[in-house]
Amino acid sequence: AEANGGMQGGNRGRAGARFKAQMQAAARFLKAPAGPRVAVLESGGWDTHANQGAAKGILANRFSMLDEGLAALQHELGGEWSNTVVLTVTEFGRTAAVNGTRGTDHGTASAALLTGGAVNGGRVIADWPGLATADLYEGRDLYPTGDIRSLFKGVLVQHLGLDPVFVDRSVFPDSRSVDMLDDLVGGGTRLA
């Protein structure tokens, strides 16, 4: 865990430099005339079962690393940033309460971050369930109020120009009942 900035204290230096370099490399590929339209990067070390911290600690270090990486991506892309959508997601949420080792355990609901020059930003899209014990899912987790596929569908259709029927059938099979989030992308040029 220490090598990738995990639970041994965040190790932001090496992990942060590596993540920043990956973001810069992705930007160079993406802005190349014959470059790809999509890049996927992974950042480990977010599984904070112990010593999570708040303003200081593993989680603060990880968010700082993400912030620096996104800034590097924006800088390296230059004018292409206005055509860019960045979707940051996790595969699971965290518990609402701190555990006995000053961290949080695997939970149910989570959050996603959508940023970039092409994003209609400046808002939070959510139905906030609250953190009172009575509002928690199974008495421990933030209650899920949305489906992450709604966000992905919005980006795939609005930014990449994929056909909504194709997305419902092939990208997320049998997902017609999951509505796409509207009005996510508007700035810049659609990449269809």
Q: Is there a domain that residue 70 lies in?
A: yes
Res. 189: pLDDT tops 70: no
- How many domains does the chain divide into? 1
In a domain, 130, yes or no: no
28 in a structural domain: yes
- Strand, coil or helix: 179: coil
Residue range(s) defining the domain that contains residue 100: 2-121
Cα 151 to Cα 88: distance, rounded to the nearest angstrom: 11
How does pLDDT run across 36-79, given as a tens digit for each residue? 999 999 998 888 899 898 888 898 999 999 999 999 999 999 99
Indicate if the pLDDT at residue 10 is higher than 90.
no
Kindly report the backbone phi and psi dihedral angles of residue 86, in degrees, each rounded to the nearest multiple of 5, phi listed first: -120, 125
Residue 75 placed within a domain: yes
User: What is the per-residue pLDDT for 167?
Assistant: 98
Q: Is residue 67 part of a domain?
A: yes
Look at residue 190 and tell me if it is in a domain.
no
Q: Quick check: is 41 in a domain? A: yes
pTM of the model: 0.85
Q: Tell me whether residue 136 is in a domain.
A: no
pLDDT of the residue at 187: 53
